[in-house]
Chains A and B, each alone.
Chain A
Amino acid sequence: MSDTDHTTDGAAPTADEDRALSLELDGITKEYTEDDGSTVVAVDDVSLDVYEGEFIVLVGPSGCGKTTTLRIVAGLEQPTRGSLRIGGEDVAGREPRERDIAMVFQNYALYPHKTVRGNIAFPLKIRKYPDDEIETRVQDTADLLGIGELLDRHPADLSGGQQQRVALGRAIVRDPAVFLFDEPLSNLDAKLRIQMRTELNKLHDRVGRTSVYVTHDQVEAMTLSDRVVVMNDGTVQQVARPKTVYQQPANRFVAGFIGEPPMNFFPVTTSPEGDRLRVDADGFSLVLPPEITDTVAAWDGDTDRLELGIRPEAFEDAALVERSLAAGETFPAYVAVVEPMGPNTDLALRPDNRADDEAAEFTARVANETDAAAGETIEIAVDTTEIHLFDPETGENILA
């Protein structure tokens, strides 16, 4: 991915441009040799700068290399190539204990033979802190996390949420330079997960340490992060603020991965329609607004065939749109399924000429006042300023 420059988007998360770098990954690559002798590249040339106090989330499908990247930062695995600096110091070859980091594990990894107190105190004990300091620190940490009452229990006697807090406590008690989180919420039930997510946010605001957080859950990525790092197949697809990742995905992968329900993709051909650009998909045509037309014209690649991306939210039931709609903004669609979600309604639609073709189905999220019923054909409107166009070969976003 080094040949693409969109990975450097959003260089600094805030106006404070001269904040110190806390973590620098430069060309980190990790290769494994399989039993049959073949080589698997788990992490491929990942470069990333993380600023002091920043909350970075690595997100991607399983096997994308995000956890391996985190483990390399932790020192639990050594990179095949590339360099890694923590707080400006090259940490190549250093043991985890020789890096100023703490980590929260997916299954908490609490020491079952130690009490909550013993678990939280362990990082200090092993570093031979004086006993009175250990005691105050453990107490303060436990109070901060609201587990002061549980200090003499064993992990097995705690609920999932409580165990999670103990794991957090063990990480923050030492006040390290960098926190690492490996899918820490994935074992909690849905309700608790949302609650802990909010608490993590508050905790980060209070502690303010650099954090690197790995998850496959895009909602966690969007809500927790200052910047999101989207990964796939061991490479970084995009590094940007959450809003940017959603609004201006760097490529087709990011566009499809971020957003729920996912973006709809249609292969299209392009042709001029007056001074505008017209795109023809199988079953419908759209005429795009002038600014998009200009951007496409400025693109130096081949633009005859493109990949059109429309988020479900960019659709609306034409009957509910108050302004008058132009010809290239709507098309008839067959309604296959209606799923009322509460605030809005998701429709599974097919272009009207392909009403019998299940493969042509796409999702539209429309206002809940819609009268659309399964089996009918409705007129569906597209907000053409919100569409995305991708190079069909490279997947790059032409409009971003």
Chain B
Amino acid sequence: MAAEELGGAPHGEGVVGQLSDWVNDHIRTVLLGPSLVALFVVFIYPATMLLWLSLQNTRGIGETFEPAYNYGRIFTDPTFWNAVEKTLIYSTGSLILSVGAGLAIALALNKVLDSRVRNAYATLILISWAVPLSIVGVTWRWMFNGQLGVVNKLLIDLGILESSYSWLGNSLSAMVVVILADSWSRIPFAAVVLLAGLQSIPQEMYDAAKMDGATTLQTFRHVTLPYLRPSFFVAGLITWMFAFRAFAIPFSTTGGGPGGATETLAVYIHRFGIQLLDYGFASAVSVFLVAVTLIVATGYVYFILEQIEEIEV
């Protein structure tokens, strides 16, 4: 072929050609640059401000630089430790319910052979994941409403309850309700991740176990569970991490009440930062929450990396 058919010259002609050459030579900058600039503006800027605010005393009028003030308050404020306790109960409860129910659903879905039926179930189960988080809250708030709620009505009609119970007015039952609401929204994710894990188990493993005379329970313990371990870990950690920082569901279900009984750290931060305009203290609590999450996340990332190596080897 003649060289001129190639578009010949090593460099493009004219402004368009030169521009195209420049783009070609700086492809990484052109493709990645905008994202990094965007992340810098929408993340680095507020994150830096967060650190700065956490060092300011904003309790009274105006701001004064008092680095130890807010962090000192954290450790002396009993409501803070209440929020930590509620957050731990909330996230752990949601983790157990979501992953437990998710596992049951995944195991059952994996047994459904007809893919249309399986997809139909999967679709119905995924719906709660797609429900806006505040809608989750108001829905459960409405169902467990003391006077008009359908749960009370149902339990009374079934003869389980004598009279209406104020679910959201009692500390313990309010916590149960928000955990249920939270799990309701998280179960689909856990189920999907665990199902993907189940489906990645090679059929030969099951065949080999059968050849070795393993019972179903033994197969589950020695084949399914070991293969499922990474998915289990991923589903569990992500569920826990996101429940740990949950805001919308507890906020819209109970608003943190009654009397702080369901006030997670996120709701606590929102109360001080947005409602009471005590930016400094809210920021200090945020830094604490971020630190805890990142310690867990780092462990998680290391674990994932190790898992990848294990799989590759």
Q: Residues of A with Cβ closer than 8 Å to B?
A: 87, 89, 91, 93-95, 97-98, 100, 127, 174-177
Residues of A within 8 A of B9 (CB): 98
Which chain B residue lies CB-closest to A100?
Answer: B6
Contacts beyond the supplied A98-B7, A98-B8, A98-B10: 18 A-B pairs with Cβ under 8 Å: A87-B3, A89-B3, A91-B10, A93-B10, A94-B10, A95-B10, A95-B24, A97-B6, A97-B7, A98-B6, A98-B9, A100-B3, A127-B5, A127-B6, A127-B7, A174-B1, A175-B1, A176-B1
Residues of B within 8 A of A98 (CB): 6-10
Residues of A within 8 A of B6 (CB): 97-98, 100, 127
Could you write out 24 A-B pairs with CB less than 8 Å apart? Answer: A87-B3, A89-B3, A91-B10, A93-B10, A94-B10, A95-B10, A95-B24, A97-B6, A97-B7, A98-B6, A98-B7, A98-B8, A98-B9, A98-B10, A100-B1, A100-B3, A100-B6, A127-B5, A127-B6, A127-B7, A174-B1, A175-B1, A176-B1, A177-B1
Residues of A within 8 A of B8 (CB): 98
Cα separation A93 to B24 with both chains bound (whole Å):
12
Cα separation A91 to B3 with both chains bound (whole Å):
13
Cα separation A97 to B10 with both chains bound (whole Å):
9
Chain B nearest CB from A210 CB (Å) reads: 13
Q: Identify whether the interface residues of B are mostly helix, strand, loop, or mixed.
A: loop
Q: Residues of B with Cβ closer than 8 Å to A?
A: 1, 3, 5-10, 24
Cα separation A1 to B166 with both chains bound (whole Å):
89
Residues of A within 8 A of B24 (CB): 95
Cα separation A294 to B109 with both chains bound (whole Å):
82
Residues of B within 8 A of A95 (CB): 10, 24
Chain A nearest CB from B120 CB (Å) reads: 28
Residues of B within 8 A of A127 (CB): 5-7
Report the 8 A-B pairs with minimum CB-CB distance, sorted nearest first.
Answer: A94-B10, A98-B10, A175-B1, A100-B6, A176-B1, A174-B1, A100-B1, A100-B3
Which chain A residue lies CB-closest to B5?
Answer: A127
Which chain A residue lies CB-closest to B3?
Answer: A100
Cα separation A177 to B51 with both chains bound (whole Å):
62
Residues of B within 8 A of A100 (CB): 1, 3, 6
Chain B nearest CB from A176 CB (Å) reads: 6
Cα separation A127 to B5 with both chains bound (whole Å):
8
Residues of B within 8 A of A93 (CB): 10
Residues of B within 8 A of A87 (CB): 3
Residues of B within 8 A of A94 (CB): 10
Residues of B within 8 A of A89 (CB): 3
Chain A nearest CB from B13 CB (Å) reads: 13
Chain A nearest CB from B135 CB (Å) reads: 39
Chain B nearest CB from A21 CB (Å) reads: 16
Residues of B within 8 A of A175 (CB): 1
Which chain B residue lies CB-closest to A175?
Answer: B1
Chain A nearest CB from B1 CB (Å) reads: 5
Cα separation A32 to B5 with both chains bound (whole Å):
34
Chain A nearest CB from B17 CB (Å) reads: 12
Chain A nearest CB from B295 CB (Å) reads: 26
Residues of B within 8 A of A176 (CB): 1
Cα separation A229 to B287 with both chains bound (whole Å):
62
Cα separation A89 to B9 with both chains bound (whole Å):
11
Cα separation A87 to B2 with both chains bound (whole Å):
11
Which chain B residue lies CB-closest to A98?
Answer: B10
Cα separation A127 to B6 with both chains bound (whole Å):
7
Which chain A residue lies CB-closest to B24?
Answer: A95
Cα separation A254 to B7 with both chains bound (whole Å):
42
Which chain A residue lies CB-closest to B6?
Answer: A100
Cα separation A127 to B8 with both chains bound (whole Å):
11
Query: Which residue among A98, A127, A177 has the maximum number of chain B CB atoms within 10 Å of its CB?
Result: A98
Residues of B within 8 A of A177 (CB): 1
Residues of A within 8 A of B7 (CB): 97-98, 127
Chain A nearest CB from B231 CB (Å) reads: 28
Which chain B residue lies CB-closest to A128?
Answer: B7
Residues of A within 8 A of B3 (CB): 87, 89, 100
Cα separation A23 to B307 with both chains bound (whole Å):
47
Cα separation A175 to B9 with both chains bound (whole Å):
18
Which chain B residue lies CB-closest to A91?
Answer: B10
Chain B nearest CB from A134 CB (Å) reads: 13
Cα separation A87 to B3 with both chains bound (whole Å):
10
Chain A nearest CB from B185 CB (Å) reads: 36
Cα separation A155 to B7 with both chains bound (whole Å):
29
Cα separation A230 to B207 with both chains bound (whole Å):
47
Which chain B residue lies CB-closest to A126?
Answer: B7
Chain B nearest CB from A346 CB (Å) reads: 35
Cα separation A94 to B10 with both chains bound (whole Å):
6
Chain B nearest CB from A391 CB (Å) reads: 42
Which chain A residue lies CB-closest to B9?
Answer: A98
Cα separation A176 to B2 with both chains bound (whole Å):
9
Which chain A residue lies CB-closest to B21?
Answer: A95
Chain B nearest CB from A121 CB (Å) reads: 15
Cα separation A91 to B9 with both chains bound (whole Å):
10
Cα separation A351 to B24 with both chains bound (whole Å):
64
Chain B nearest CB from A163 CB (Å) reads: 25
Cα separation A97 to B1 with both chains bound (whole Å):
13
